[in-house]
Amino acid sequence: MDFLIILEAEPGSTERTEDALQFALTMTRRDDVTVRLFVMGDAVAAAIAKSGARDGAEVVARSLRSLVMSGVALAVCDASLAARGIAEDELILGAIASPMSLLADWALAADRVVAF
């Protein structure tokens, strides 16, 4: 089964971000499950390699790194990055800056889409 998880919540603003990451991690432990994660909006702060003073963002960035290492495809909305002045080379290792067309492709290919 193919899952697409869309993350929009700013790290530390609510429990939604942590819930999304915990869900993604839980799904990676299942047999025959593929997980893709698309980060957009205020959530792009979580995909920055060096988050600085944003403690919540650093915790989430560590979780994202772990998910990438476990095989989760991680894409970060290029328009959301541009709107916040974040360059692609600032992203955590394994994350790619992607247009909304990739989100559309992933949504069409997914058996289930979950948004946080």
Domain that holds residue 85: 2-115
Map residue 12 onto helix, strand or coil. Answer: coil
> Which CATH number does the domain housing residue 85 bear?
3.40.1260.10
Q: What is the pTM of this model?
A: 0.91
- Cα separation of 19 and 31, whole Å? 21
Per the DSSP assignment, residues forming a β-bridge with 3 are: 35, 112
Number of domains in the chain: 1
Distance CA 113, CA 6 (A): 8
Give, for all 116 residues of the chain, the pLDDT tens digit.
999 999 998 887 778 888 999 999 999 999 999 999 999 999 998 898 875 545 566 778 888 999 999 999 999 999 999 999 999 999 999 999 999 999 999 999 999 999 99
